[in-house]
Structure 1
Amino acid sequence: MNVLSRKVVQELGEIFTEISEDPNVITVIVTGAGNRAFMAGADIKEFPSWLEKSEEELMQLTMEIHQTFNMIEHLKKPTIAALNGITLGGGCELALAFDIRIAEEQVQIGLPEVKLGLFPGGGGTQRLPRLIGPAKAKELMFTGEPISAAEALKIGLINQVTENGKALESAIVMAKKITANSLQALSRIKEAVNKGIDTSFDQAIDLEAQLLTEVFQTEDIREGVQAFIEKRKPSYKHR
């Protein structure tokens, strides 16, 4: 069921560190093994040991999750989560750290932590309201009830619904479209949106202007403009 164990969190951190440093990777897709779950949530079997830990130890464990999810959210490359099965709890929170979410019709997505007497602790209380608004986010977290892929699309929680078994295929199609563009531009779009949304409009516009000034210093913009003039497809070097 692809549970979010401490080992999985560590492995995600390791692979995304590699991805961040690999110049050959432009767009990243993550999906779940098998066809039952993208990720079913936290590893509940670990929770009894958590009950015995000190406040300091619990804070350390929680921050390990935040550090990994923050790394994914702020990766300077576009990311797509291909949701190929149930996406609950920590799995939903992981998906929220991605730029784009594509879900199969079968998918149930939600944050059921309240039913265990706790609440989303992997960024769900912060990322979900920013994505779908505070009222709907509170409803999903207060009730703990999952919603269908169709409902998730309706409220803006996911970007696209596909037939069962087609999430990864659709993600690859989208990734190819994205990867045809310059990473110099893509990374600045992501930075402008991610940082700008948490600042005032005037500060966000200043950030956009700064990033636009930077992109005009890249090799790729010269290639893009020249390709347009010559009526051909650009060949970006991502520099």
Structure 2
Amino acid sequence: MTSIASRDSVAKGRFLPFALPPALQADSVSRIEARSLELQRAADAARLFCLEHLEVSFDDKSGALWSFMRSKGRPSYSLALLDDIHAMQDGIVARFGGQPTELRYLVAGSRSPGVFSLGGDLDLFATCIRNKDRQALIDYGKSCVRVLHRFHSALDLPIITIGLAQGDALGGGLESLLSFNVVIAERNAKFGFPETLFGLFPGMGAYSIVSRRTNAAFAEEMMLSGRTYTADEMKQAGLVHIVVEPGQGIDAAKEYMLRSQSRHAGIRAVYDVGRRVNPMPLDELDDIVRIWADCALKLSDRDLRLMQRLVAAQNRLPKQLQAAE
């Protein structure tokens, strides 16, 4: 007969004649975790080409993954678009991470005529500021800088990244564009950080990237002046690499990839060295996001009215573009 003490030990799992030894238990847990990770990677890879706010395609001949933002409404970084960009990044790593020679280039552009991206979701910012919701601002900013940081590191894959600006890149749109190895711009595109117009500053990578690619003085000039720059001015500053005529951006990206195929390893290595010599840590970007959020909460009612007028102008833009087509 089993004693009460024995039954208690069995109930509490201290004595189980069929229990696995600790080493086998750990091995079983590891197998379960590995299987779970495998299933998650498969799901990420399957989703890569089925995103609502991104058009993604792969050209196996050139080894190029093409991605174009498809904004519904004003062409800015909504939460839904950010979620899709995160999903695309996860999908690229899941699909190509184990095949280092298959993917060679990542090209990012936009399907909004005349616009690469107008940047952050100003409507969301205004709502968060009025509600004094600092955490929501920080969460949004951290989502943005994680997108930027992964593109800046080329997703830790042996690829060359290409940002394709067939239209204006402003605020957060310019920050994200500058995270790519090579920036191609059509000549009619405009660039700048207009946040100072309503008392804010671009807090999701602008200073970090521009100061590293040029110098701190030029980064501050761009951020504090609020002026817009032409594609040629951006090339002269070293922030745009190739300027082409309107409508020639996609062909220019294809030509660049064809021209660089034989030197792919060497070119990619130079960008790897650049990140090693001048790293851009994620905690630096996170610290700046917190400064940005605190600055945003100090905006006046007048600043918020200016922000809302800009939102209204951005909301009209898709309709104007549709009418012009």
Per the TM superposition, whether the score is higher than 0.5 is yes
Q: TM-score normalised to the size of structure 1?
A: 0.76
How far the C-alpha of 1:118 sits from its partner, in A, is: 0.8
Offset at residue 157 of structure 1 (A): 1.2
* Cα pair 1:30 1:81 within 8 Å, conserved: yes
Structure 1: distance between partners of 2:236 and 2:268:
27
Q: CA deviation at 1:116?
A: 1.8
CA distance in structure 1 between the aligned counterparts of 2:163 and 2:133, rounded to whole angstroms: 34
8 Å contact from structure 1 (residues 86, 109) kept in 2: yes
> 1:149 offset after TM fit, Å?
0.6
Answer whether contact 2:128 2:134 (CA < 8 A) is retained: no
Distance in 2, Cα, partners of 1:179 & 1:34:
29
Q: Does the CA contact (< 8 Å) of 2:193 and 2:227 recur in 1? A: yes
Is 1:19–1:25's contact at 8 Å kept on the other side of the alignment? no
1:37 aligns with 2:115: yes
**How many angstroms apart in 2 are the aligned matches of 1:81 and 1:53?**
35
Match of 2:228 in 1: 146
CA shift digits 1:43-98 (9 cap, x unpaired): 22222222125333322221111111111111222100111001100110011111
Aligned counterpart, 1:85: 167
The alpha carbon displacement at 1:35 in A equals 2.4
User: What is the correspondence of 1:192-203 to structure 2 with a 5 Å cutoff?
Assistant: 192-198=273-279
Determine helix, strand or coil for the equivalent of 2:273: helix
Alignment of 1:127-142 (within 5 A): 127-142=209-224
3-state SS, counterpart of residue 129 of structure 1: helix
Deviation at 1:17, TM superposition (A): 2.0
AA aligned to 1:13 is H
User: Does the 8 A contact of 1:27 with 1:178 survive in 2?
Assistant: no
RMSD of aligned C-alpha atoms?
A: 1.9
Aligned to 1:3: 76
1:236 maps to which residue? none
Q: How many angstroms apart in 1 are the aligned matches of 2:128 and 2:257?
A: 38
Distance (Å, rounded) in 1 between the aligned partners of 2:113 and 2:136: 34
1:26 partnered with 2:104:
yes
Following superposition of structure 1 onto structure 2, how do residues 87-166 of structure 1 map, counting pairs within 5 Å? 87-166=169-248
Report how many aligned residue pairs link the two structures.
Answer: 198
Q: CA separation in 1, counterparts of 2:215 and 2:122?
A: 29
Which consecutive residues of structure 1, in runs of 5 or more, have no partner in the other structure?
A: 200-239
Residue 190 of structure 1: aligned partner: 271
The residue type paired with residue 150 of structure 1 is: D
Tell me the SS of whatever aligns to 2:112: coil
1:13 is matched with 86
After TM superposition, the score normalised by the length of structure 2 is: 0.57
Cα 1:160/1:88, change in 2 over 3 Å: same
- Cα deviation code 1:90-131 (max 9, x no counterpart): 110011111110101101001111112111011112111111
Secondary structure (helix, strand or coil) at the match of 1:13 reads: helix
Aligned to 1:226: none
Question: Contact 2:171/2:194 (CA < 8 Å) preserved in 1?
Answer: yes
| 8 Å Cα contact 1:35/1:165 also seen in 2 | no
> Matched residue of 2:89: which SS?
helix
In 2: Cα distance, 1:83 partner to 1:145 partner: 18
Deviation at 1:178, TM superposition (A): 3.2
Distance 1:45 1:54, change over 3 A: closer
Contact 1:31 1:168 in 2 (8 A): no
Q: Which runs of 5+ in 2 are unaligned?
A: 1-73, 281-325
1:176 equivalenced with 2:276 (yes/no): no
Q: Give the AA of the match of 1:71.
A: R
Contact 1:39 1:86 in 2 (8 A): yes
Taking the aligned partners of 2:133 and 2:230, their CA distance within structure 1 comes to 38
2:134 maps to 55
SS in 2 for 1:171: helix
- Aligned partners of 2:279 and 2:163: how far apart in 1? 23
Q: Is the 8 A contact 1:13 1:71 kept in 2?
A: no
